[in-house]
Amino acid sequence: MYNGFTFNGKNSTDLGIFIDSSYTVATAVPNVSTATIPGRAGTVLLNDSKPSSILQTIPFYVNKPPVEQTEAITQITNWLRQSVNVYHNFKLANDPGFTYLVAMTGELSFKREASDLSGELNALFYPYKFYDEGLKEINVTNGQTLNNPGTVTALPRIALSGSGTVTLGTFKMTGIGNGAVLDSERQSCTNLAHTEPLFNRMSGDFLTLPPGNTKITWDNSDFTVKIIPRWGVMI
């Protein structure tokens, strides 16, 4: 069975690309290294608890007549090779409700056979896929409980709007102007316009959302809070 996919906001079917949904899916594995210690039997396993990204090989075919195939190869290559040094949103038609993060860092090959055009793309998948609902911004009320339906601890993006000092969960912002953005995944803290770092105004740990319920509270009613929770599961 063949399906389309969306990469960086563009649907593959717009270029006539369809992927074979029967391809072998690699899953994330723990990032484990080994060490041999003199005087100790066996091999010691060292686990940093964070899985590595996964290189997936995905076969595809291009639904274009022979006279259009050369131009199709150029368009497909230009599309998939843009900004290869960052992850982009990636959605599979046969996995609704989830968004992957994918970097097209691997080989992209094409095969012409009679009137058929097919190929393989090798894409680097971030080890987690994210619930679409968890990528939407939530206007949080003070004392509200957020439920993480995923299986991994989420690293949210938090936008604080207000002036002064506020403590939310395990972190505190002191003497800020009109707000701040704290990104637990990127470990960044900036003003709302993302033009000025505010690490000197921050103390404590970035907020995380473990699986299950987390109550969100803050101690200054002059502030409003918006959260993109980024709930996800391991691939």
Q: Looking at residue 44, what is its pLDDT?
A: 66
Collect the ranges in the chain with pLDDT lower than 70. Answer: 29-34, 39-40, 42-49
CB of 65 within 8 A of CB of 126?
no
Helix (H, G, I), strand (E, B) or coil at 55: strand
CB of 69 within 8 A of CB of 112?
yes
Query: For residues 74 and 125, what is the distance between their CA atoms, to the nearest angstrom?
Result: 24
Provide the β-strand partners of residue 99: 130
Q: What letter does residue 13 receive in the DSSP assignment?
A: G
Q: Looking at residue 31, what is its pLDDT?
A: 64
**What's the whole-model pTM score?**
0.85
Q: Looking at residue 88, what is its pLDDT?
A: 95
Q: Looking at residue 92, what is its pLDDT?
A: 93
Query: For residues 128 and 184, what is the distance between their CA atoms, to the nearest angstrom?
Result: 15
Q: Tokens 């989830």, residue?
A: 98
68-125 pLDDT, tens digit each = 999 999 999 999 998 888 999 999 998 999 999 999 998 999 998 878 899 999 999 9
Q: Looking at residue 30, what is its pLDDT?
A: 66
